[in-house]
Structure 1
Amino acid sequence: MKLKLTPTQNLCVGFLESGFKLVQMGEQYYFVKGERRQKVLPKTLDALVNRGALSYTDQGDYILSAEFVAHRKRMRETNEVVPVRH
């Protein structure tokens, strides 16, 4: 898994982490939460799959991969332990 994400890829992960659902309408994909909708390019989704951040469910949906979720959790725990020096 390639852990370095582009800003756009990181934004997409943030949408999924904050409760947005990824839905396909015709040929286009959107992050949807309530009335809010944000377009996402299929090539961005493909890049996230190739980097190991997203995986497919048996129903063909995109979700954050278990490996990526574990990585993000480890990164958050590491950041909380590091003391801030002024």
Structure 2
Amino acid sequence: MKLKLTPTQNLCVGFLETGFELIQVDDQYFFVKGERRQKVLPKTLDALVSRGALLHTREGKYELSDEFKQHRKEMRSMVESKHVRH
């Protein structure tokens, strides 16, 4: 898994981590949560799949991979431990 993501790819991951649903309308993709809607390009989703951050399921849905979720959890704990004062 390539762990370095572009700012756009990081933004997409953030949308998924904060409860946005990824939907497809015709040939376009959108992150949707309530009334909020943000377009995302298919090439961005493909890049996230190739980097191992997203899985494309048999049902045609995209979801964060377990490996990527674990990586994010480890990165957060490293950041939190740096902020703990001794």
Match of 2:6 in 1: 6
Runs of 5+ consecutive residues of structure 1 not aligned to the other structure: none
Shift of 1:59: 1.2
| 5+ residue gaps, structure 2 | none
TM-score computed with the length of structure 1 as normaliser: 0.94
The one-letter amino acid of 2:26's match is G
> TM-score normalized by structure 2?
0.94
CA RMSD of aligned residues (A): 1.3
For residue 34 of structure 1, what is the aligned residue in structure 2? 34
Q: Partner residue of 1:25?
A: 25
Q: Distance in 2 between matches of 1:72 and 1:80?
A: 12
1:39-50 aligned within 5 A: 39-50=39-50
**Count of matched residue positions in the alignment of Structure 1 and Structure 2:** 85
Aligned-pair identity in percent equals 72
Once the two structures are TM-superposed, the CA of residue 84 in structure 1 deviates from its matched residue by 7.0
What is the match of residue 77 of structure 1? 77
